[in-house]
Chain A
Amino acid sequence: MSTFETLKQELTSYAFPAGISTSVLLEVSPPLRRVLQKIMRQGSMTFKMLSEELDLTGHEAAEIADLFVKCGFLKSTETTTDGDVVYRICHTRSHRPDAPIAIWRQMLDDMRDDLDPRGSDPNGNSDANSNKASSSKTGGNKTGGNKTDLGDNNLNDGSSADTGV
């Protein structure tokens, strides 16, 4: 299979609507990785350079460039004075794993239970353990009991992070 056909087949198997993470470089084929990495290192690449880099005809290069953009690898940002299109890597935003936030939430729940011997029982019954069990079943969203300011602020932060904001 020609370079054009190989690249076309590979590119159409991907879809990154929000752009690519750098870790994608570890998953793609070596020819694709090489060109993406070169663009990353240089900051940008013109259409002419891209077609030379991939050793493609103008028509083939145009189709591949379109696929790069359509699949979320590249974005065309501007054109040079002589009309050559400039491509840059379309990076996705960095995201941190949710796990640490979940750990924070669990720690804060535990801290709250330790600080408030009455637990979450509105009647003031001391039952911190049942409160913990209930909080873990509901993903940490407690509806009753006293909350410390520290806990509330951090819980809010955690909630927004969990939604991928």
Chain B
Amino acid sequence: MSKIISIHSFRGGTGKSNTTANLSSIMANKGLKVGVVDTDIQSPGIHVILGLAEEDMHNTLNDYLWGKCDIEEATHDVSANLGIANGQLLFVPSSIKPGEIARVLREGYDVGLLNDGFQSLIDALDLDVLLIDTHPGMNEETLLSIAISDALVIVMRPDQQDFQGTAVTVDVGRKLDVPDLLLLVNKTPQVYDVDDVKARVESIYNSEVAAVLPHSDELMALASEGVFVLKYPDHEIAQKYAVVAERLLRD
């Protein structure tokens, strides 16, 4: 049985796409067939972390939504580029062409087609896991991905603005009965006590905190040029991501 996992954050810049890239890479390295869809149509970015250049994008999610191709045809196997040998990481990027982003903003798209696309991708590619990288805040594709997900990971920073926005997402996740709702506290200043942050966040939202990740100079220095867990597998952050991935895959 395939699992759909949405990675979301209410505000931008929390490290949502990095989290998606890292978790999907760990899962693929375990031998699983993992799909990643970038539904952040307005401001796509995860393709950079997954090492897919614009000129190598033969089809995108936009093409699928405009009926130009099947969703499988918009899939890019990035496993070899990333050095994933055991499993497979199959990625559906959103277009980064300004005109195509503008067209989606202007014309909208058939949301039913997006939902069908998720199901088709799972069936046609026989995926074990499908991760959906969402747009920050609340919009149609975000709500859809939360509504159909088996697990929702809400990424947040220990910051007052994030605290408020995260409450909204947690409420939506609960209302939509997402079976597994996890919080991931990212970019935590080194001076904070990790256990204290975890306890505080769990108490505020009455939800499980899967991990509290410290701010990392190595991750910042990587500047999205690659997947952190693959470059620094022994780093504390990589170990914590591995725990989160394990937790998400648990039945």
Contact = CB atoms under 8 A, between A and B. Distances in A.
A91 B110 contact: yes
B57 interface: no
A165 B106 CA distance: 7
Interface of A: 19, 21-23, 25-26, 33-34, 37, 40-41, 43, 88-96, 100, 157, 160-161, 165
B30 to A, nearest CB: 25
B90 to A, nearest CB: 20
A43 B115 contact: yes
Contact of A160 (B106, B143, B175): B106
Contacts of B147: 22, 25, 37, 40-41
A77 B144 CA distance: 20
A43 B140 contact: no
Contacts of B141: 94
Interface residues of B, number: 24
B116 interface: yes
Contacts, number: 69
A93 B110 contact: yes
Nearest to A160: B106
B105 A22 contact: no
From A23, A90, A160, residue with most partner B Cβ within 10 Å: A23
A161 B106 contact: yes
B111 interface: yes
B111 A91 contact: yes
Given A22-B111, A26-B143, A161-B106, 20 more contacts: A21-B140, A22-B140, A25-B143, A25-B176, A26-B172, A34-B177, A37-B148, A37-B177, A40-B115, A41-B147, A43-B115, A43-B116, A88-B112, A91-B111, A93-B111, A94-B111, A94-B141, A95-B108, A95-B140, A165-B107
A145 B5 CA distance: 53
B105 A40 contact: no
Given A21-B140, A25-B143, A91 B177 contact: no
Nearest to B171: A26
Nearest to B113: A91
B176 A157 contact: no
B148 to A, nearest CB: 5
Contacts of A90: 112
B110 A41 contact: no
Nearest to A37: B147
A73 B108 CA distance: 19
A132 B147 CA distance: 44
